[in-house]
Amino acid sequence: MAALFDRQFALIEEMAALEPPPWFMGGGAEDAVLAGEATRPHDAVDWLLRRRELDERLGQAARLGFQTFETWGESAPGEPFYLYAESGELKLDLGVADEDEGRPVLRVHKLFIDVDGREPTAG
């Protein structure tokens, strides 16, 4: 697990050098804000971005080794809000935010994952 953590940290360092600087979300971001360090292993690096940045950020992700994304959730039909990709054992989740009065908002219309074998409630 230590080797995976090191690769995740290296990815985060590469992402931190991007322009515009990325926003992080999820468990890793919570660890950074609340504990000042990683408190446990995380499955993926979670990246929050504005919808208007999506094409630019997908290009940046491709340069970081994440070529193909799956849509795991939509904010409206055909509008992704949750994208997932892998590069080797690294996993990257993208949260695509709409904006409301300049603030990022994640809207959930449909999820393409299951929870305990059932489609989760969304919308």
* 60/44 Cα distance (integer angstroms): 17
pLDDT in tens, the chain (123 residues): 678 888 998 999 999 999 999 999 988 888 888 888 878 878 999 999 999 999 999 999 999 999 999 999 999 999 999 999 999 999 999 999 999 998 989 888 888 888 888 877 765
The residues that bridge with 73 in the sheet, in sequence order, are 82, 111
Strands (E) in 1-115, as ranges, are 23-25, 45-50, 70-76, 79-87, 90-100, 103-105, 110-111
For residue 20, what are its two tokens? 């515009």
Instruction: Please answer whether residues 8 and 45 qualify as being in contact, where contact means their C-beta atoms are separated by less than 8 angstroms.
Output: yes
* 15/46 Cα distance (integer angstroms): 11
Domains of the chain: 2-111 (3.30.460.40)
Residue 84 CB partners (closer than 8 Å, separation 6+) = 44, 69, 70, 72, 91, 92, 93, 94
pTM of the model: 0.88
